[in-house]
Amino acid sequence: MPPRDPSPVSAAVTRAGVPHGATEQGWLPDCVYTGEKFETGLAFFADLTGRITRFSREPADLAAARRLDGQAALPGLVNTHSRSFHRVLRGRTERRGAPGDPLAGWAAALGRAAGRATGEEIFDAARMAFMEMLLAGITCVGEFHFVSPAPEGATTAEPNFVRREIIRAAHEVGIRLALLNVAPERAEPFVRDVENLRVLVEKEFLADEVWLGLGADLPAVLSVDQLKVVAMYARAQRMRWHAHVAPLPGESLPAGRTPLAQLAELGFLDKRFTAVHPIQLTDDDVKLLGTARATVCLCPITAQNFGIDTAPAEKLLAAGTGIALGTDSHAQIDLLKEARLLEYQLRVQHGQRGVIAAEPATALFHAATVTGARSLGATGGALEVGRPADFFTVNLFDPSIAGAEPGALLANIVFALERRAVRDVWIGGRQRVVAGRHPLHGPIVGRFVEAQRRIWST
Ligand SMILES: [Zn+2]
């Protein structure tokens, strides 16, 4: 799939954006988050492939590094659950729906939009959502991909057409992408298509730029036999797999056991598995997830937008399950806000501060970075030697966080940062956002506005 790169890399610049002749590039922000704390007077360096090679306090290194004045650097955020096409629904379903049915109205609007979308609108919506993610400091996204019905332009001759449009969108914007392909009712042709795509993707992209995983909607869509086909393929390819696992309130569980108990019985509950915004979790489910060292991805803005309660994150963490975060419906794209709303929701439930952890900012930031990267099989998530230089900087003089000394900075960022305070974003040592602006801002927004007009005009 020849990706159409809008900004071809000049001959004088390597893949990582390092000037010709140089073997490394370095950065010196006012402070840098190295996991659990911010450190001052510390520069970090990346090699030609965009990997972090070293941290240094040597005066010569501090002088050689690019000075990021008035900024703090943090590892890029990982958005574990995105449905990019849902970006087109923003602000279009915010009215009273049927009592007790959180999906009413929204599902009808989605059906209408999907029915009108061609590959072009899907591409435009994905590019818009991915650019907004970069502007929020997100450097890696897990796209839980399923569009129904098949849009115009998608043919049986090219069943991966829409998936390739999503990949092209991520590549143009410059965000790392785990494309989690959601299995339809018939698993065999699906697995064949995904395998064809996997071969193509591995040829065209670096392994940590675009990679594939699998998704499922449980318990509704797949029969046990079909589920086995998908899970076996995921295991054979060592792919991450994510599933919506619990029914919505009011939907009943299949007789006997919960979807998670069923997965555990089949041997498919393991550390490569992520349960996405589970709603009804039994105490046994919590234990099963913890024992399997699986991940749970929560999307508090979407959940609250739909009027759905959150899963018992504090119990899941205590049981050994990782908690990751996602922007799901894109009612808003702000992963730090997802983090703070998770803690706030738990505070409402418990009447206490610091429910998710005694130091909630550290735990929530861990969820938005390290755990997300683990859930997606991404190489980032932390600023450490050997990992890619994926990071964002915040303006320390932004009114939303001004006056926070290093010891109070993370809590200021997690609980109060306004998205506009995100200044620069670097992925694999290449700058993707400069002073709060993406270089393709104009065309991306312009095309999205046109796409919205086509989708919603009567
Ligand atoms: Zn979802």
Let me know the angle formed at the C-alpha of 298 by 292 and 302, rounded to the nearest 5 degrees: 155
Q: Is the pTM of this model over 0.85?
A: yes
Q: At what angle do helices 441-456 and 106-116 cross, to 10 degrees?
A: 100
List the pLDDT tens digit at each of the 458 positions of the chain: 444 444 433 434 445 556 667 789 999 999 999 998 999 999 999 999 999 999 999 999 999 999 999 999 999 999 999 999 999 999 999 998 888 887 888 889 999 999 899 999 999 999 999 999 999 999 999 999 986 556 665 655 678 999 999 999 999 999 999 999 999 888 899 999 999 999 999 999 999 999 999 998 876 667 788 888 988 999 999 999 999 886 555 555 555 678 888 888 888 899 999 999 987 788 999 999 999 999 999 999 999 999 888 889 999 999 999 999 999 999 999 999 999 999 999 999 999 999 999 999 999 999 999 999 999 999 999 999 999 999 999 999 999 999 999 999 999 999 999 999 999 999 999 999 999 999 999 999 999 999 999 999 97
> What integer pLDDT is reported at residue 221 of this predicted model?
63
pLDDT at 3: 44
Tell me the CA–centroid distance for residue 329 and ligand 1, in Å: 7
Handedness of CA 180, 185, 186, 188 (dihedral sign): positive
Q: Using CA atoms, how far apart are residues 396 and 383, in angstroms rounded to an integer?
A: 19
Domains of the chain as residue ranges with CATH? 24-76+381-442 (2.30.40.10), 77-376 (3.20.20.140)
276 CA distance to ligand 1 middle (Å): 6
Ligand 1 centroid–CA 170 distance in Å is 19
Taking the C-alpha atoms of residue 374 and residue 380, their distance in angstroms, rounded to an integer, is 9
CA of 174 to the centre of ligand 1 (A): 23
**How many angstroms is it from 89 CA to the middle of ligand 1?**
14
For 327, 331, 395, the CA distances from 418, given in Å and listed in that order, are: 16, 16, 10
Would you put residue 153 in left (φ > 0), alpha (ψ -120 to 50) or beta?
left
- What is residue 388's DSSP assignment? B
* Distance (Å) from CA 273 to ligand 1 centroid: 15
Q: From the CA of 299, how far away is ligand 1's center (Å)?
A: 8
184 CA to middle of ligand 1, Å? 15
Cα 23 to ligand 1 centroid, rounded to whole Å: 42
The predicted pLDDT at position 13 comes to: 43
CA of 328 to the centre of ligand 1 (A): 5
Ligand 1 centroid to residue 85 C-alpha, Å: 12
**Which pLDDT score is estimated for 33?**
98
Q: How far is the CA of 244 from the centre of ligand 1 (A)?
A: 6
Give the whole-angstrom CA distance, residue 242 versus residue 81.
9
For 437, the token pair is 């602006």
Q: Is the peptide bond before 219 cis (omega within 30 degrees of 0)?
A: yes
Q: 219 C-alpha vs ligand 1 centroid, how far in Å?
A: 14
Cα-to-centroid distance, 79 and ligand 1 (Å):
12
